[in-house]
Structure 1
Amino acid sequence: MPHGSPATPPAAAVSAATGGEVRSCTTLGTSHAWTLHSGELADGRGFFAKVADGYAEAPAAEAAGLRWLAEVPGGAAVPGVLAADGGVLVLERVHEDGARADAAADLGRRLALTHRAGAPFFGASWPGWLATLPLDNTPGDRWPEWYARRRLLPYLRDARDRGYLDSGDVAQLERVLDRIADLAGPDEPPARIHGDLWAGNVLWGRDGAVLIDPAAHGGHRESDLAMLQLFGAPHLDRILAAYDEAFPTAPGRRDRVPLHQLHPLLAHVCLFGRSYRSQLLDAARRLA
């Protein structure tokens, strides 16, 4: 029986994944297709764990992304991966301490370093996931075409097929796709990006910001910045100012924000339905 099976108690699943004894394990709730747990191993290390009920490939993709982001010296902090075994992901526990302006500026500088580290291509060498939605990480060499084909079109079709977008909505978004080369701005090399950097995926730990739940891949660095802006983030102005000081973006970034927000908004439509439709179409109108 796989470790992530609902019949496996979470403490036993964590123990099997880590190969160590679990001293305590508390269930925190659920998120998408997995249950969330926090506890302590017998050696004293605190952990946070996801145990999958289906979609067992998603925790493995998250672990690959975390390890890849962690390779950058001085880059944005991520929790260490203690184990990734089947449908179980066990991470170092982050002790939250509240957002501070100095920590936000530090995040901006560290995120710039992570992005500068780059990637060999747009995409990734592992299958991608965003919550329970598969991400096509097939490599590409030019971002506008790659973004349209691997990020926007699959979710546009999915949202249409689920009945969340009508033919007029689809036509409006297709007009954006037709102009994507003009809307994308200057060519940029692949950046090492988090890929799902909304405010909820930034934990403010005792030693600064820690990024969790990545959909990491080689992408456009402005996608991470636009995602931070999508639902707001504490001290966002400090994050962006410190980032721009360390690694200035090309002129016109603010005009391109809606383009980079189309993918996460399409994902939200696919995951949560028509409640995000108006926000998606508003972003498309801003690009028109």
Structure 2
Amino acid sequence: MAELAEEPATEAVARHTGRRAARTRRLSSLCQLVEPVEGAPLVVKESLGPDEHAAAAAALRWLSGSDFPPVPMVHGVDETWLVIDYVPPGAPSVAAAEEFGRSLSALHASGAPGFGAPPPGGPADAWIGRTRMRNETRADWPEFYASLRIEPYVRVAVDQGVLDDARARVFEQVCARLDTLAGPAEPPARLHGDLWNGNVHWAADGRAWLIDPAAHGGHRETDLAMLALFGCPQLERVLGAYQESAPLAAGWRQRVALHQLFPLLVHTVLFGGGYTQQAVSAAHTALRAG
């Protein structure tokens, strides 16, 4: 974790927005809610490390669009602080889920310059959760997924001792067969990139907002597979509306485990434990499905 910032969050808000804080409340170890004397509340996030906020700000701007799921506006960014809108929480609903599915399909369809491409103006070395992530364009999705989303995290997991060489071989087999496991070729999609349930913010305005992106150009099935990984309220409603707007290629349900390998390997590197076996099991499932 980054060292505590020397500048208070209230001073960062004043510097970036010109607003004087009336009160603050801590939301997490790295986030504070700042209520200005005038204007709407803001969330102020402290950085984990180099380029985190530059990547997050570029991602939020790239994911912003009238037909896309809403995202918080960026009010200020520097190496230490990211200042964004506070979005009051609400509850999931059928209507919000269906609108989310439609707008997510529009986001994906808006495309990206290539597989692995970072958001415009964003750094190549970004973050997913509390670990680093490299965004660098590759020729096609299998090459990108193998070289930047599977192999680096397998190497780290082996070096950490949470994954042994014998169990690591299944990931080599997946990478060797990605051309056939990946299904029909698709153009690069504009991804949120870390779309687990915790980053779908069901808001008081009746919509599902996207927060904490790890955006890049990738395969749209990756976002959908991550939604399913830890459970998402109204998931079948989300998927149904998505399918009506932009039908997925045949066999997409059989490829869910393949697209879950990346977040499972990230969790393996960060937490070890049961995530290691879950990642290995998903790799075997992906091979059987292919």
> What TM-score do you get using the length of structure 2 for normalisation?
0.92
1:141 Cα offset (Å):
2.8
Aligned residue type for 1:230? L
Tell me if the contact between 2:46 and 2:82 (Cα under 8 Å) persists in the aligned partners.
yes
Aligned equivalent of 2:37:
42
Deviation at 1:28, TM superposition (A): 1.9
Match of 1:117 in 2: 110
Identity of aligned residues (%): 44
Alpha-carbon distance change, 277 to 22 in structure 1, aligned in 2, over 3 angstroms:
same
Q: C-alpha separation between the residues in 2 aligned to 1:29 and 1:193?
A: 26
For the 8 Å contact 2:5–2:80, the answer to whether it is kept is no
Partner of 1:142: 140
One-letter code aligned to 2:109: R
Aligned counterparts of 1:203 and 1:73: Cα–Cα separation in 2 = 17
Taking the aligned partners of 2:105 and 2:136, their CA distance within structure 1 comes to 25
Question: Residue by residue, what CA displacement relative to the aligned partner does 1:170-190 show, whole Å, maximum 9, x if unpaired?
Answer: 111111111111100111111
User: Could you tell me whether the CA contact under 8 Å between 1:58 and 1:132 is conserved in 2?
Assistant: no
Is 1:96 matched with 2:89?
yes
C-alpha displacement of 1:82? 1.2
Aligned equivalents of 2:88, 2:270: Cα separation in 1 = 29
Deviation at 1:287, TM superposition (A): 1.6
Displacement of 1:51 = 1.2
Counterpart in the other structure of 2:211: 212
Unaligned runs of 5+ in 1: none
Which among 129, 132, 143 is matched to residue 131 of structure 1? Answer: 129
Taking structure 1 as the reference length, the TM-score comes to: 0.93
* Structure 2: distance between partners of 1:73 and 1:13: 29
Q: Is the 8 A contact 1:57 1:87 kept in 2?
A: no
From 59, 75, 78, the counterpart of 2:68: 75
The Cα shift of 1:56 comes to 3.8
Alpha carbons 2:89, 2:204 under 8 Å: kept: yes
Matches within 5 A, 1:1-288: 5-30=4-29, 35-52=30-47, 54-70=48-64, 72-123=65-116, 124=118, 125=120, 126=122, 127=124, 128-207=126-205, 208-288=207-287
**Which whole-Å CA distance do the structure 2 matches of 1:144 and 1:66 have between them?**
26
Matches of 1:155 and 1:86 in 2, distance apart?
26
Task: Indicate the SS of the match to 1:29.
Answer: coil
Cα pair 2:63 2:71 within 8 Å, conserved: yes
Please list every run of 5 or more consecutive structure 2 residues that lacks an aligned counterpart in the other structure: none
Residue 145 (structure 1) shift = 0.8
CA–CA distance in 1 between the matches of 2:218 and 2:113? 10
SS at match of 1:138: coil
Q: Which one-letter code corresponds to 2:100 in the other structure? A: L
How many residues are paired up? 279
Following TM superposition, the consecutive aligned residue runs of length 4 or more in structure 1 with deviations greater than 6 angstroms are none
**Which one-letter code corresponds to 1:162 in the other structure?**
Q
**C-alpha distance after superposition, 1:147-175 (max 9, x if no partner):** 11011111111111111100111111111
